[in-house]
Chains A and B, each alone.
Chain A
Amino acid sequence: MSFAGNGSGAVIEYRNVFKAFDLPVLSGVTLSVEKGEMFALFGPSGTGKSVLLKTTIGLITPDRGDVAVGGESVYFGGKEVLERIRRKIGYVFQYAALFDSLTVYENVEIGIPEESLEQMSSKEVAHRAWESSELVNLEPKQVLAMLPSELSGGMKKRVGIARAISGRPEILLWDEPTTGLDPVNTAAIERLITQLSDDLHVTSLLVTHDIEGGLEMCDRVAMLEGGCLRFCGSPDEFRASSDPVVSAFMDREAAHAALDTLEFG
């Protein structure tokens, strides 16, 4: 069974990625994400989805294998290549990871790469922060001067997204963006993900536990299980999959049945 992408125009390539902490987390993951597509990565908790996402921008170094972004190696390309890759990518963290001591404006501003900041006037920077806040449906006039501690969970997520897009990236990495949100906010963030991917013409790689949302939004999906790739294909193929682990992941009844018969990694 081949799990690779379709081979043309791959913008992110995971090449046989291995990573262990005390126990193995990723055991040889090979996967590619094509330019312009929305790609969802599913899998049980602790199966290495976020670890894989972090290897994309060098936040976690694989024990073996490599990751390439735009054809350039994250781990063998040197510091300059890594910096260039990071400028191309916007990363949305699971719990927003906003800087507590900075205002919303400063949090959004810090997402703009230093090289771009040097070429922008303060007016342009302010305009970029304002525009990024509006893109995530925040009211700039109201929130830009606030501190993260004054925001609700949903607003924090939006500020985290605004920071990720303020550098106008080519790729957006979403690490469980809807975790901890109520259904209304979850739907709003999902709508935002689709809207931003369309408006900014970015490639999106989304790690999520929200299977239905992921299947609805994305062009392709993959499933990690026990540190290995269990499935890679279109949402329709995922829905039609006869793999009991994949089926168990999709509906509650099958999950209960699987708990009795299968061992999850």
Chain B
Amino acid sequence: MGRFLAALGRAGTLVAEHAGQLGLLAWHIGVACVRLRVLSRDILRQLYIIGIQSIPIVLIAAALIGVVTSQQGGYQMQSQIPLYVMGSVVVESVILEMGPVLTAIVMIGRVGARITAELGTMKVSEQMDALQSVGRDPVEILAAPRVLAMIISMPLLVSLANLVGITTGMISAQYTLGLGSETFFYGARLFWHSYDMFYSLMKALVFGAAIPLIAVHMGLRTTGGAEGVGRTTTHSVVFMTLTILVLDALFPPLFLN
């Protein structure tokens, strides 16, 4: 029992420590943005790396999400529910859940891990120290452009993912279930709320802020050479994934009731 409580205490301390440091980092980035200390050149460079270069993988994932949702929905509704309901199932699943969450998971692997490894390597190779030694702030130069670029990119990527997911879901339903596009959209319109799109983009925005914040935070905490970079990157990916899933679970009770 004593050991359990000690472990619980340690875990609590660690969570509080991370939360405090994440809060300070977010504050520091906010101040840098308000004081216009973030160069547009750096943001544009990160927008290209984080946003533009992620489009292919996000679209591939979204296309597959649409196909799978449509196929599974069709299988479960066989001769029990009118097929036009499939339109609503695909559209709502993609917009409310699959689009934002799976795009976030893809971005954790493609961008979050990269940011942690990149900043972690800079930390252990004294590049962070070198930046500070010449009077530059690593948060302004390295962290803020990445976080801003991700916050801008995520809603756009999720919108694209939603569009592609719905399109491939519709095409898949047409070929495998014989559901025409008109019937598909009839079903989609039947249960559609405009708020759902806002909800989806809100998720994208929150995930878009959480992923780079954690990635940067973990990168800046890296110690212990190459092994440390590997270890921190793994921890960072786990941390980001869990955070996204927890945030995702908090969204319905907070915003769908």
Residues on A lying within 8 angstroms of B by beta carbon are: 54, 57-59, 83, 86-87, 89, 91, 93-95, 97-100, 110-111, 113-114, 163, 167
Contacts and interface: CB of A to CB of B under 8 A. Distances in A.
Interface of B: 122, 125-127, 129-136
Contacts of B127: 97-100
A54 B126 CA distance: 11
Contacts of B125: 95, 97
Contacts, number: 48
B111 to A, nearest CB: 16
A98 B129 CA distance: 11
A78 B132 CA distance: 15
A98 B128 CA distance: 10
Contact of B133 (A91, A99, A114): A91
Nearest 3 interchain pairs by C-beta: A97-B126, A97-B130, A91-B133
A95 B130 CA distance: 11
Nearest to B130: A97
A99 B134 contact: no
A83 B134 CA distance: 9
A105 to B, nearest CB: 15
A99 B126 CA distance: 10
Given A95-B125, A97-B125, A57 B133 contact: yes
Nearest to A112: B134
A114 B135 CA distance: 8
A79 B177 CA distance: 67
Contact of B134 (A54, A95, A167): A167
Nearest to A107: B130
A61 to B, nearest CB: 12
A93 B136 contact: no
A86 B133 contact: yes
A163 B134 contact: yes
